Amino acid sequence: MRRFVWLALVLALASCKSTRNPEQEFFEKVSQLTKEELLAKGDALAEKRRWEEARKHYSFLADSFPNDPLGRRAALKVADTFFAQRDLESLTEAQLRYRDFSNRFPSDPARAYALLMLGKCSFQQHRGPQRDLGPVREAAASFRLVMELFPDSPEAREAAELYQRCREDLAAHELEVARFHARVQAWEGAWQRLTYLLATYPETLAAREAEPLLAEARRIRGEEPAANPATAEPTPAPDPR
């Protein structure tokens, strides 16, 4: 009988050991690593697209050393792992984390990167000129901040390119709406959209494509375009006699 009791106790202890809390085991392991080793371990996992495991290492580093340069870099890398997954839920989470970093560390040089990525999160959620333009407007605002606050940063050039893409999409939306108004013969609405388009986004492809429609709107409104000074007939000089 005693033999069976002893065997049951041994099996129970073995079972407890095998069901040890995985979180506790993780913390015991990472607490033995240096900051540099933690970051390298997270990078190695991210390289293999093991996002959740990488995120755990980055998060431990960021939470343990929130004001250390490596801790701040790890906080951004947590956001990067969400951005890399690209689904809507992950993009939303990445967006929150980039915004949090930008707000918490306004003087950190990495804020330019955080703002750039914040804009990319919004831009990734844009679905074309006929859809909701909220995300593209948010993206444009973030890219413009990078250009204004960090004009000499490496991120500023990419932000400028993406900002122009946002403007092209916003302009394309105005042109689509103007064309719709024209199709239903609502020429006053078309005129308002076209004039806004040309005043706000004059450098865009949509502005150039809008010129024939604008000419038609002028014709229907009974307006004639102003004469081009270079091609207008010269006014005869008065006879001095």
Q: What is the pLDDT of residues 187-237, one digit of tens each?
A: 999 999 999 999 999 999 999 999 999 999 999 988 765 444 344 444 444
Residue 179 near residue 216 (C-beta atoms within 8 A): no
Number of other residues whose CB lies within 10 A of the CB of residue 195: 15
131 has a pLDDT exceeding 90: no
Beta carbons of 220 and 187 less than 8 angstroms apart = yes
Both structure tokens of 240: 């001095």
Residue 74 confidence (pLDDT) above 60: yes
Q: What is the pTM of this model?
A: 0.77
Cα–Cα distance list, 121 to 15, 142, 183, 191, 210 (Å): 46, 10, 35, 34, 30
Q: Give the CA radius of gyration of the chain.
A: 30
For 114-142, what is the mean pLDDT?
87
Alpha-carbon dihedral angle through residues 133, 136, 141, 143, given to the nearest 10 degrees? -170
Task: Please report which confidence band the pLDDT of residue 8 belongs to, taking 50, 70 and 90 as the band edges.
Answer: very low
Residue 54 has pLDDT above 90, yes or no: yes
CA 148 remoteness from chain centre: 17
